[in-house]
Structure 1
Amino acid sequence: MILTPLPELPAVSYVMPVLNEEGFLEAAVRTILAQDYPGEKEIVLALGPSRDRSDEIAGALAAEDPRVRLVENPQRDIPAGLNAAIAASRHPVVIRVDAHSELTPDYTRRGIEALRRESAANVGGIMRAAGSTPVQRAIARCYNSPFGLGGGAYHGDGEPGPAESAYLGIFRREALDAVGGYDPAILRGEDWELNLRIRRAGGRIWFEPRLQVTYHPRASLGDLAKQFFATGTWRAVLVRKYGGANPIRFFAPGALVVALAVSLVALALLVTGVLPWASGWPVLLAPLAAYLLAIAVATLRIPEQRGIRDRLLTAVTLVTMHVCWGSGFLRGITLGGGRVVDRSRM
């Protein structure tokens, strides 16, 4: 992929899909307007069929500042909304922002510097989850810990360098055009899938830890379960489509769920006397015992906890993440994605 040189201060288009985000939308847009980047800016909001005041808030923001423009996203899905916003935008750098995230003031400036310095097609930084209630804070703690999500550099600290994918993304429009934008058929994991196609086309994905984004996660365990089941399902779809291009870590939650199911069935058969303890079946309890021990260790090691309540919430959150992601993965591997979507914000 050959990209033309960027000027020092290229104009920037921020694109944001919006659906039922009345609690976060205004703050997200204002962090964009407050960027210390001196180049030209525009913001394109792709409005899905929200049931709350999101459209009203978006309209007020557009009326207040002509740099904010609105497009419709009747399909409501994130990839379709992003593609609609990108198509309506005009500038050579495209920055994805989520409505439940907030950028640090230097995000754009530092991102453009990295984009130019590394001749990258896409640059991403670190996601810092934050919560305001006990449950949301527990979810945020697990997001920020390798025990929760694990693997991706953008969930923790790390050194700058080439990356597999990027959180959100500061893109060269040329790179997006070259690969055809987001795949509207991939309803979750669309970032990873797009970055895979960019890498296969010869583009460079760059991790820049100086870029910081505050992310507001789901506020209830029920919504978290819906989100992670959908995420696991669509990761399996990507495994079916791209096979070995997927890192081995993505298979772990599905394997965990199978192992835990075997242990629980064995335990039930042993407790009810269907199988004798001397049969050797107790060895099948090892996965359950090992997992519970791992959860206990993680709960002790994850920082920013105060008291037994926080630790219990952390443990329940970790189990919810792992089991729902893994169950979704098994669903996706066997049945495909279908119309499984994350309805936790709908």
Structure 2
Amino acid sequence: MDRPASEAGQDSAPRIGSVVIGRNEGERLVACLRSQPAVPVAYVDSGSTDDSVANARAAGVTVIQLTKPPGFSAARARNAGVRVLLERHPDLEFVQLTDGDCSLREGWIDRAVAALRADPGLAAVFGRRREIHPERSVYNALCDDEWDVAMGEASACGGDAMFRVAALQSVGGYNDAMIAGEDPDLSMRLRRKGWRLERIDAEMTWHDAAILSFQQFWTRTRRAGHAFAELARLYPDERWPDWVRSCRSIVFWGGAMPAALLAAVLLALVHNPLWWIVAAGLLLVWPLKIAQLYLRQRRHGLPPRIAFASAALLMIGKIPQFLGLASFHYGRWSNRASPIIEYKRRPSA
């Protein structure tokens, strides 16, 4: 059942709902549900095999269990949560969306509602999302920096944000079929309807990325490549952000350059040793590019260790991004739906 709103019965009380989505988030979900405000909350579960559903029911929130088929996706889960909340509470003005690995910060709801109330043109607002354990790995630390976007009007928001219900309804919500990139896709459709998005100066969520291995980084980056490819296909003329340009960079650094290096090595082995000079020249381009990115990250204010890791992983990540891009186009050409790409280690039940 829904938890009662703390301001129920007050005519001036904002009509707010909250949707949490998750899949095998373990104690992260428990913390997330504990942080939710005293408003109607819906938890949408995408096939968890741990105690997520039981924990959500114990927290007293509405539980929605998605079935498969169709395939699971964050987009489908968020749509399902919003739909059920509006069926039960059709007068909702705002809905807070939160991923199950995040916990809301104290005071966020009030700050978000105030911003939306003050500017009817805003479709959504979001604040500072912070990694709760940036010290556990360089990957977590880079996520913390990634979430620190500029204040003011934004081109897109992520999965944690407060939305105006009317804005979501005006574009039909998320695209259920997208397994990655669903947030910028929704943001783009909102902006094309005349709505705006804004990053406000407020602490929003603690996020637990739990990326502790290179394999997880590789998978997460491959997922990003899949998203870039689909967004570039959907919005080829968009320049804020410019997904087509991003895909060109991915193809060059993650596809063409490694292919050229491999070809040079093979030619040196089977044809002419002078090709080793070409191979060495191609190989040298990578550290030069990493050095350029390192200097840029240092100017951005990152400490030396994190700046170097960011620069190196940005370049290394072009390869899994290319694989994700290629898998998207293969699936499109072969008419095969892509399965969700999961990078997070799931806690034990």
Q: Name which of 185, 192, 198 aligns with 1:193.
A: 185
Letter in 1 for 2:217: L
In the alignment, what sits opposite 1:159? Answer: 151
Segments of 5+ residues of structure 1 without an aligned counterpart are 1-6, 34-39, 63-67, 150-154
TM-fit CA distance, 1:186 = 1.1
Letter in 2 for 1:17: I
CA distance in 2, matches of 1:267, 1:209: 51
User: Identity rate of aligned residues, in percent?
Assistant: 21
Q: Name which of 241, 249, 252 aligns with 1:255.
A: 252
Is the CA contact 1:25–1:99 (under 8 Å) kept in the aligned structure 2?
yes
Give SS of 1:182's match: coil
TM score, norm. by length of structure 1: 0.79
In the alignment, what sits opposite 2:41? Answer: 43
Give SS of 1:71's match: strand
Is the CA contact 1:157–1:209 (under 8 Å) kept in the aligned structure 2?
no
CA distance in 1, matches of 2:112, 2:293: 36
Correspondence list, 1:133-148, <5 A:
134=136, 137-145=137-145
TM-fit CA distance, 1:194 = 0.8
Q: Name which of 57, 60, 65 aligns with 1:59.
A: 57
In the alignment, what sits opposite 1:234? Answer: 227
CA distance in 2, matches of 1:320, 1:211: 32
Is the CA contact 1:96–1:169 (under 8 Å) kept in the aligned structure 2?
yes
Greater alpha carbon shift after TM alignment, 292-301 vs 19-28: 292-301
In the alignment, what sits opposite 1:22? Answer: 26
Is the CA contact 1:133–1:219 (under 8 Å) kept in the aligned structure 2?
no
CA distance in 2, matches of 1:289, 1:262: 17
Is the CA contact 2:134–2:140 (under 8 Å) kept in the aligned structure 1?
no
TM score, norm. by length of structure 2: 0.78
Letter in 1 for 2:166: E
Give SS of 1:97's match: strand
Q: Name which of 69, 76, 82 aligns with 2:78.
A: 82
Is the CA contact 2:286–2:315 (under 8 Å) kept in the aligned structure 1?
no
1:281 and 1:318, CA in 2 relative to 1: closer, same or farther beyond 3 A? closer
Give SS of 1:20's match: coil
Letter in 2 for 1:343: E
TM-fit CA distance, 1:211 = 3.8
The alignment's C-alpha RMSD in Å is 3.1
Letter in 1 for 2:286: L
Q: Deviations over 1:49-82 (max 9, x none)?
A: 11112112112112xxxxx211122243211111
Is the CA contact 1:130–1:216 (under 8 Å) kept in the aligned structure 2?
yes
Segments of 5+ residues of structure 2 without an aligned counterpart are 1-10
Equivalenced residues, count: 315
Give SS of 2:40's match: strand
1:83 and 1:201, CA in 2 relative to 1: closer, same or farther beyond 3 A? same
In the alignment, what sits opposite 1:36? Answer: none
